[in-house]
Amino acid sequence: MKILIIGTGYVGLVSGACYAELGHEVVCVDNDSAKIEKLNRGEVPFFEVGLPALISKNKAAGRLQFKLSIKDDVNSSDIIFIAVGTPSKENGQADLKYVFEVAKEIGQNLQNYNVVVTKSTVPIGTSKKIRRIIAQYYNGAFDVASCPEFLREGTAVKDFMNPERIVYGTESETARRVLHLVNEKLSCPKIETSIPSSELIKYASNAFLATKISFINEIANVCESVGADIDVVSYGMGLDSRIGHKFLKAGLGYGGSCLPKDVRALQSISGENGYHFQVLKSVIDVNNYQRWKFFNKIKNILGDFNNKEIGIWGIAFKANTDDIRESISLDLTLRLIEEGAKLRVYDPKALESAKKILGQENVVYSASALDTCRGADAVIIGTEWPEFQEVDLVQLRNVMKSQIVFDGKNLLDKNKLLSLGFKYFSIGR
């Protein structure tokens, strides 16, 4: 089938490359000329494991193209995916201006039947609005549908090619059949439902994951109060098949481009429809509290930050990505700069993005984890990169001025650090 994907961010680009790998003919469109030029040169605009090779392979095979306009392909495609950003507004609502701009462009160029599908995460009722916008410019037959993505940054290619489920929200048998044909090579449960249910499944899933994270962080805080160990507690909880181990890792809280905005959006959607979602309010409050509780722990131990030399391990919101959107480590780093600390910062993939936010004043960008800690009064672990677990702790002890570790990801072996003379502070342990 011929697929048109509008938007070349994480969702659009990964989806395009993977659909091409499945044998479809894919055209990815973006109005960012610099990005399209990079993609046509074979440069991927962000770090994602396995994606560059997949793009290169399918471009060479003629199954994947990148263009600036939908005009050449909107009427020759079998299906159109909308995969543009839906960032949060200040009030928590999803900003749909890019989705609606694309809907208008589709309507202005459409000349025959097509299925227009939202792959972006959009509030319930968005598809109806997309239909109305397209119908203002095109009076022929078309369908709208919903097929939300469930991709995790860092494992997005693997997630796409080995999905746990695919959700179709449709209004017609024709649209359902087209979506089935597009995804027929992917073996997993396929949920065929209404558009509102499809749209809500994505929000509900992310909100529940965020709830698990906030819950285990609350338990970690109780552990610190009563002298329990969160690692043992969460392991014991996770053995219950009704609970499971995933997302029961205590830390600084959730960040990134999906969970924060989706939780806020679902809270907003609920409120707009007359329901006060009390659990989600608490989830958001706990997540905001968690980072500053850890910051205050650092401040209580180190005292005045003025002229303190502090190493920062990790700026990306999670490992295996260069994404710093809503990164808690980034927030903590900015606060440390404000309070006068001198920082040495290292991240295996997100350093260039970090430089644009952190600037140069009171910040040195390091080439390795060990180099970050030379002469440091303390080191803070903000991202769970495997590289940090592999650092030689004896060498680390020898290069630091004061052997103090603040582990915001519970990444390192507490007993080993203590045996080497470190002062070690983590979460819930």
Distance CA 372, CA 352 (A): 16
Provide the token pair at 390.
Answer: 């592999």
Please give the tally of structural domains in the chain: 2
- Say if residue 147 is in the same domain as residue 290: no
- Say if residue 182 is in the same domain as residue 291: no
pLDDT of residue 92: 87
Q: What are phi and psi of 72, to 5 degrees?
A: -75, -20
pLDDT of residue 257: 87
Residue 266 within a domain: no
- Say if residue 69 is in the same domain as residue 178: yes
- 109-135: pLDDT as tens digits: 999 999 999 999 999 999 999 999 999
| Residues in the chain, pLDDT under 70 | none
**Options 28, 147, 223, 258, the catalytic residue:** 258
pLDDT of residue 90: 87
- Select from 45, 49, 113, 50 the least CA-distant residue to 77: 113
Diameter over CA atoms, the chain: 74
Q: Is 287 exposed, middle or buried (0-12, 13-18, 19+ CB in 10 A)?
A: buried
- Please tell me the pTM assigned to this model: 0.93
Picking from 179, 194, 209, the residue at the C-terminal end of a domain is: 194
Residues sharing a CB contact under 8 Å with residue 224, sequence separation 6 or more, in sequence order: 427, 428
Picking from 171, 194, 217, the residue at the C-terminal end of a domain is: 194
Cβ-contact 47, 322 below 8 angstroms: yes
pLDDT of residue 150: 95
Q: Catalytic annotation on 223?
A: no
Distance CA 203, CA 39 (A): 30
Q: Identify the CATH number of the domain in which residue 163 sits.
A: 3.40.50.720
Please state the length of the chain: 429
- Select from 99, 156, 159 the least CA-distant residue to 123: 99
DSSP 317: S
Domain that holds residue 75: 2-194
- Select from 79, 76, 140 the least CA-distant residue to 107: 140
Residue 43 within a domain: yes
pLDDT above 90 covers a percentage of the chain that reads 96
Residue 163 within a domain: yes
Residue 344 within a domain: yes
- Say if residue 51 is in the same domain as residue 180: yes
Picking from 140, 161, 194, the residue at the C-terminal end of a domain is: 194
- Cα angle 312-384-16, degrees, rounded to a multiple of 5: 115
